[in-house]
Chain A
Amino acid sequence: MDQTALLFLVLVAMVVVFTVINPIFFSSAVFANILQDWGPIVLMATAQTLVIVSGGIDLSVGAALGLSGVVSALAMRELTASGQSAWSAMLLGVLVAGAVGLAVGLVNGVLINRVKLVPFIATLCTMGAALGLSLVLTGGTPVAGGPAGSIQFSSKTYLGMFTVPIIVVTVIVVAAGLYLHKTRFGRWTYAIGSNQFAARGAGINVESHLYKIYALSGLLSGLAGMFVYLRLGSGSASSGVGQELSAIAAAVIGGTSLLGGVGRLAGTVIGAFIITGVLSGLIIIGVQANWQRVVIAALIAVAVGAQGLSNESLRAK
């Protein structure tokens, strides 16, 4: 059975179970709640998929989310204080958040290509530095005072669940999917992830390609930072902390191999739905808070395990 289809069945089964226990779960209000969590996670998981397929890993996505949220919040607060309109402040916020994320990604690229650190260590360093910088800039308190009405703007739903930021995120993820699966950029990414030396031998400029991949990963994380800002109306250094693990989990649940060279964005998208859906689901069906983590961990094991088993049955044939 096709892996992505199998994964989709896991998602459907999850929805059915939650709905049977508490029918409120199957409502546009709950789906809207889930989408609010899905937005930033799927952006970071998309970033993660690109990086992991290329044979690397990016631990800095969560910290990049936090830093870009904080810096764009500071920029938007300045602009709002100077009397500019909410629209221009939000536009500036998007640009600043993207730029900060991009910068984090480029630092990763330099550390990997020039300083020759393995991606795990390189991005661990930028993760620490980005989190530290966010704390230095904010002193640990959230940065509010940005454009008025940003929460209302970003939470106004169409068809009961789709907000403007969610639509933007969907477009970005579809574009990233086309980029990964339909272009030379994507083919090279798989080639590098499968065998870096062979890719080099085939004439691919691996360094330049890795710059692009980590920059793109940072950019997507920066946009996730703006998404969280719009949702909360403030930027906080603690936003995104630890979320790199959720992003990696979403990609891995989606069938991306940590060994590189294997992965499909459609799987990642469903993986992100599973990770965020289970969180809301457990609250709706009333699982005690401390048990939620245990259940999420078990579910990840089941989702990944099911795919492994289906792989084996394929091989057996």
Chain B
Amino acid sequence: MNRASKTLAALGAAALLLGVSACGGGSTNAEAESPASASSDKKLTIAFVMGAVGDPFFKAMKVGAEEAAREENVNLEWQGSDTEYSPQTQIPFVDAVLAKKIDGLVLIPTDPDALQPSVAKAKSLNIPVITVDTTVNDRTDVSAFITGDNEDGGAKAADALAAAMKYADGKTYKVAVGSSSATTTTGIGRMKGFESQIAAKYPGIKIVDKAYSQSKPEVANTNVNNWLTKYPDLAGIFAIDGTNATGAASALQAKNLVGKVALIGYDAYKENVDLLKQGIFTAMIAQDPAQEAKLAIKAMVSQIKTGKTGIESEVVIPNVTMTQENLGETEKYTYVE
């Protein structure tokens, strides 16, 4: 601890000198004389390469990242594909920021294998890497991994569903799960958490069907329509992502089953929160992307300055269960548009 703070002080002093000489006439006396505050350090540049600029989940993340960047006085390079969440579109952005002079890379790998070489490349350039939300398979070169826990979210969804169906031991409850595809890692984690929580705590809940939407709301809608026909006594639905939520919500409305079939959604997109307010969603699992990003920036600054992130190698930001009752305190988790 002591050594760390000494190193920090030394670095700060060095940065101060550099800053003054680099800025020359441009920097005022007041700035130069201010104590080793963040504003007089050599300004660090941290690149944050995420999944898709347009997605409100990442917009919420950006709010947290910018806030932390202001507090820590670092340049934030927010980069990523406009709308497409895929390694093909992400890797060029990672290559581009690594070609510039950056001090640290915060990365949301869109694929655990495909982004592994990018992490190795950063390592070879002595640029520390912190992963957020998802990570790469081999974390040797990753300083820290900060995530919302999908398995925990799935387990919380099982709890919320059980509560919504007024679960009592000895009775049987048929539920179905709508997922987006067999290969989406977040969906797999949520499903795993959901299933193991049911196995552990709710023996009366039977998962009668699972179906994939292929990321299309109309396909999700077809799946739910057919479940409702096939299982007239269906008690609950876990819509694992936004697409499934849209499809399930419209199916329940069309068949006048709102309130009769419990619907648990995931991710606090604004339109989901609206559906929760209308009572179409019974409950919703929200992540806290702003918190993830904030912590990532702070840990990265610490890593660059001290060689230590100051946090565990893996930090899990807990999920929040939003319901109509607790909306007063949980509405702030709604992702910004």
Contact = CB atoms under 8 A, between A and B. Distances in A.
Interface of A: 22, 24, 27, 29-30, 33, 36-37, 40, 132, 135-136, 138-142, 144-145, 151-152, 154-155, 228, 231-234, 236, 238-242, 279-280, 283-284, 286, 289-290
B323 interface: no
B226 A286 contact: no
B56 A142 contact: no
Give 6 nearest A-B pairs by CB, closest first. Answer: A155-B254, A139-B54, A135-B83, A283-B226, A33-B225, A29-B229
B230 to A, nearest CB: 5
B215 interface: yes
A228 B218 contact: yes
A142 B82 CA distance: 16
B274 A144 contact: yes
Contact of A283 (B59, B221, B223): B223
Contact of B254 (A152, A228, A241, A283): A152
B222 A242 contact: no
Contacts, number: 114
Given A37-B222, A135-B82, 20 more contacts: A33-B225, A36-B221, A132-B83, A136-B83, A139-B55, A139-B83, A141-B55, A142-B271, A151-B254, A231-B221, A232-B247, A234-B250, A236-B217, A239-B217, A240-B216, A241-B216, A242-B214, A242-B216, A283-B223, A289-B210
Given A151-B253, A233-B250, A241-B215, A140 B83 contact: yes
A140 B229 contact: no
B332 interface: no
A234 B246 contact: yes
15 contacts: A135-B54, A139-B59, A139-B83, A141-B56, A141-B270, A142-B217, A151-B253, A228-B218, A232-B217, A234-B217, A238-B217, A239-B216, A241-B216, A283-B230, A289-B211
A239 B213 CA distance: 11
Contact of B55 (A132, A140, A228, A283): A140
A28 to B, nearest CB: 10
B255 interface: yes
B82 A289 contact: no
A191 to B, nearest CB: 36
A240 B270 CA distance: 23
Contacts of A236: 216-217, 243, 246
Most buried by B among A140, A241, A242: A140
Contacts of B227: 283
Interface range, B side: 35 or more
A209 to B, nearest CB: 32
Interface string B227-243: 10110000000000011
B209 A140 contact: no
Contact of A24 (B83, B221, B229): B229
A262 to B, nearest CB: 30
Contacts of B230: 22, 24, 283-284
Contact of B271 (A40, A228, A234): A234
A9 B218 CA distance: 28
B182 A290 contact: yes
A239 B218 contact: yes
A36 B225 CA distance: 10
Interface in B53-101: 54-56, 59, 82-83
Contacts of B249: 233
B167 interface: no
Contacts of B242: 141-142
Nearest to B269: A141
Given A135-B83, A283-B223, A289 B212 contact: yes
